[in-house]
């Protein structure tokens, strides 16, 4: 197994915590978004809440606390919502959870360009695989992803890495910028 030396351990722990939480909820869940707050900030500014959540022990120092956000607007995909989100400064990062149907690399070039036809192609393909993607980023530029296949639905089979879903990571990074990314004006 190759180990990545540039992994932000606090971010990786937060992403894996979110992945485990969502795994317990089962499959076929809606996309979710989490804000990441420095646990020390919660301890300093909300000591009663920190104590209630068990976040006030010294071993929590340096960790990130994921805070689940409201559900996404009905009928919109996460990728459509993210460009309009801007987090306040107290939010040091964010994590997104989405389930997608993925195809093996061997079918590249066979997928129709029409989005509706592409979705139907993927649903009907015998080698299609359900995957839960949990991706997180921080303002400092760190990223971490965890992937769980439905066919390998156990904690020991969760794959992790810093750049497994580059397009989603880029959208998440955009939410941490001062101005919303907005639409494409071309």
pLDDT of residue 110 exceeding 90, the answer is no
Instruction: Write out pLDDT tens, residues 66-104.
Output: 999 999 888 899 999 999 999 999 999 999 999 998 887
Instruction: Write out pLDDT tens, residues 33-65.
Output: 999 999 988 888 888 888 887 777 666 678 999
Asked if residue 147 belongs to a domain, the reply is yes
Q: What span, in angstroms and rounded, lies between the C-alpha atoms of 23 and 45?
A: 31
Asked if residue 144 belongs to a domain, the reply is yes
> What is the count of structural domains for the chain?
1
Asked if residue 163 belongs to a domain, the reply is yes
Asked if residue 4 belongs to a domain, the reply is no
Query: Three-class SS of residue 165?
Result: coil
Asked if residue 186 belongs to a domain, the reply is no
Asked if residue 45 belongs to a domain, the reply is yes
Q: What is the domain range of residue 158?
A: 9-175
Predicted TM-score of the model (pTM): 0.84
Per-residue H/E/C for 20-66: HHHHHHCCCCCCEEEEEEEHHHHHHHCHHHHHHHCCCCHHHCCCEEE
Asked if residue 180 belongs to a domain, the reply is no
Mean pLDDT calculated for residue range 131-143: 97
Mean pLDDT taken over the chain: 88
Poorest-confidence range of 4-8, 39-43, 131-135, 179-183? 179-183
Asked if residue 185 belongs to a domain, the reply is no
């Amino acid at each position: 197994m190759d180990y990545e030396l540039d992994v932000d351990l606090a971010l990786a722990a937060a992403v894996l915590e979110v992945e485990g939480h969502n795994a317990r909820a089962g499959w076929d869940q809606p996309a979710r978004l989490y804000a990441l707050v420095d646990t020390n900030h919660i301890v300093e500014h909300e000591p009663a809440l920190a104590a209630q959540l068990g976040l006030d022990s010294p071993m929590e120092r340096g960790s990130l606390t994921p805070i689940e956000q409201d559900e996404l607007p009905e009928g919109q995909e996460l990728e459509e919502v993210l460009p309009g989100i801007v987090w306040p400064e107290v939010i040091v990062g964010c994590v997104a959870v989405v389930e997608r149907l993925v195809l093996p690399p061997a079918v590249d070039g066979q997928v129709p360009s029409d989005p509706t036809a592409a979705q139907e192609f993927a649903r009907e393909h015998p080698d299609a695989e359900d995957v839960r993607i949990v991706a997180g980023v921080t303002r400092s530029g760190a990223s971490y992803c965890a992937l769980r296949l439905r066919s390998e639905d156990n904690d020991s089979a969760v794959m992790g890495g810093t750049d497994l879903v580059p397009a989603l990571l880029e959208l998440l990074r955009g939410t941490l910028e001062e101005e919303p990314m907005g639409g494409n004006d071309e």
